[in-house]
Amino acid sequence: MRPDAPGDDDEWGSSTRIKPESVGRPRRGMSRAERVRAERNRKRRRRRSMVALTVFIVVVVSAVFLGSRLWHGIFGSGNDYSGDGGSDLVVEVHNGDSTTAIGQTLFDHGVVANVKTFVLAAEGNKAMTEIQPGFYKLRTEISAANAVSRLTEKNNRVGRLVIPEGRQLDDTTDVKTNKINQGIFSLISAASCVDLDGKRKCVSADELKKAAGAADVSALLVPSWAAGPVKALGADHRRLEGLIAPGTWNVDPAGTPTSILSGLISASSRQYEQGGLLDAGAAANLNPYQILIVASLVQRESNPQDFAKVARVIYNRLATPDHRRLQFDSTVNYPLDRQEVATTDADREQPTPWNTYVREGLPVTPICSPGQPAVVAAQDPAPGDWLYFVTIDLQGTTVFTRDYQQHLASIELAKRNGVLDSAR
């Protein structure tokens, strides 16, 4: 027998072995209450073990399912959809998306069977490498080759919005030609239209107008530098004038009126701020929102070659000791939703918050969406002492002066040339 082998009672007391100690009374020696308690503890430990085992199984099954889905999504299962597909839908391609990222988006939306097949189908397709961020109309459960074809087909891009410089929110009418120029609300509405499974869906201009006046300023993502003036106008939809910049934008056809407007306002404010709007206006003692208002006046009152000069006229008139009113016909026409060079006496007497014939200083909001050149001019006006300007011919020649008598003579010349029907 080995020295440490059990069997010799004397060896349990030796220095090399430790006697086992009793960890509980023998079952026969337990009282009835102790036996009941011990049985209850045993059942509780058993239930806990079963719960832990169940949770473990659920976790393992979920991991296997998700891992399998991810594996087949990325590396493919060798399958590809065929046929005409299921139903129409719109998916978004984000800025900077790789072909694999686009494939993952399509897989997640049930368009393609797996990512790898889509990537292989897109290889060597030049149009895929040039695809632009935006929204595209596709169908669920179509082949990878079909998905590539649809993505690169020009007519399948939806939600593309182009806003020209100088447009205002509402439609306007050219008095001379009676032509209606679509406002920003109408342009957004047209861009939101998409045909899905034979049904045309659009966000209407009226819905956008309602949201512009009723939605909370924070929900519309109005920048902090414009929040005060916007709130001050209450439920007037024109409170958002100028906050959607001209340019090319992407509109989600599936978006709500509020989400569409907030996306455009947020992107526009970033564009304005990147152009230096937050740092401008210190010399003229104006805040960024007032600079935007000046830019809108510059946009509506002059041609690009004269933007910086007109901006200087505005600042000079605002700085005169007698607080000389701007008296711009464009501010009279703005709430009337029309475009006209001259205005009538009755028009100029209307006490609107924008009419610079009856109120001192700037209009309460911008009167259009100014382009970047007009914003730059408002931020950096040309040097000069001019207080007046008027366009004197149909070619757009504009005369700037500080002398009022010379200005009156220029107005008469403009009348003779058919530019003006009445004095400024």
| Angle at CA of residue 13, ends 12 and 19, nearest 5° | 55
Q: pTM, whole model, 2 decimals?
A: 0.78
Q: Are residues 171 and 149 in the same domain?
A: no
Q: Are residues 367 and 256 in the same domain?
A: no
Beta strands 88-93 and 180-181 are: unpaired
Number of domains present in the structure of the chain: 3
In this prediction, the residues of the chain whose per-residue pLDDT falls under 50 are 1-28, 58-61, 63-77, 423-424
| 20 domain-assigned | no
Q: Is 265 exposed, middle or buried (0-12, 13-18, 19+ CB in 10 A)?
A: buried
Q: Are residues 262 and 349 in the same domain?
A: no
| 408 domain-assigned | yes
Q: Are residues 261 and 301 in the same domain?
A: no
| 185 domain-assigned | yes
The pLDDT of residue 337 is 83
The pLDDT of residue 52 is 58
Q: Are residues 147 and 167 in the same domain?
A: no
Residue where a domain terminates, one of 157, 183, 210 = 157
Q: Are residues 250 and 336 in the same domain?
A: no
| 2 domain-assigned | no
CATH number at residue 107: 3.30.1490.480
Q: Are residues 293 and 408 in the same domain?
A: yes
SS (H, E, C) the chain: CCCCCCCCHHHHHCCCCCCCCCCCCCHHHCCHHHHHHHHHHHHHHHHHHHHHHHHHHHHHHHHHHHHHHHHHHHHCCCCCCCCCCCCEEEEEECCCCCHHHHHHHHHHCCCCCCHHHHHHHHCCCHHHHCCCCEEEEEECCCCHHHHHHHHHCHHHEECEEEECCCCCCCCEEECCCCCEECCHHHHHHHHHCEEECCEEECCCHHHHHHHHHHCCCCCCCCCHHHHHHHHHCCCCHHHHCCCCCCEEEECCCCCCHHHHHHHHHHHHHHHHHHCCHHHCCCCCCCCHHHHHHHHHHHHHHCCHHHHHHHHHHHHHHHCCCCCCCCCCHHHHHHHHCEECCCCCHHHHCCCCCCCCCCCCCCCCCCCCCCCHHHHHHHHCCCCCCCCEEEECCCCCCEEEECCHHHHHHHHHHHHHCCCCCCCC
CB 268 within 8 A of CB 184: no
Q: Are residues 168 and 269 in the same domain?
A: yes
Domain span at residue 253 reads: 161-275
| 75 domain-assigned | no
279-337: pLDDT as tens digits? 887 767 899 999 999 999 999 999 999 999 999 999 999 998 877 899 999 999 999 88
| 73 domain-assigned | no
* Number of neighbours of residue 42 by Cβ within 10 angstroms: 10
398: nearest Cα among 334, 308, 326: 308
| 115 domain-assigned | yes
The pLDDT of residue 313 is 97
Q: Are residues 115 and 182 in the same domain?
A: no
| 218 domain-assigned | yes
Q: Are residues 297 and 269 in the same domain?
A: no
Q: Are residues 134 and 196 in the same domain?
A: no
Residue where a domain terminates, one of 157, 182, 199 = 157
Q: Are residues 293 and 387 in the same domain?
A: yes
Residue where a domain terminates, one of 140, 157, 174 = 157
Bridge partners, 400 (sequence order): 389
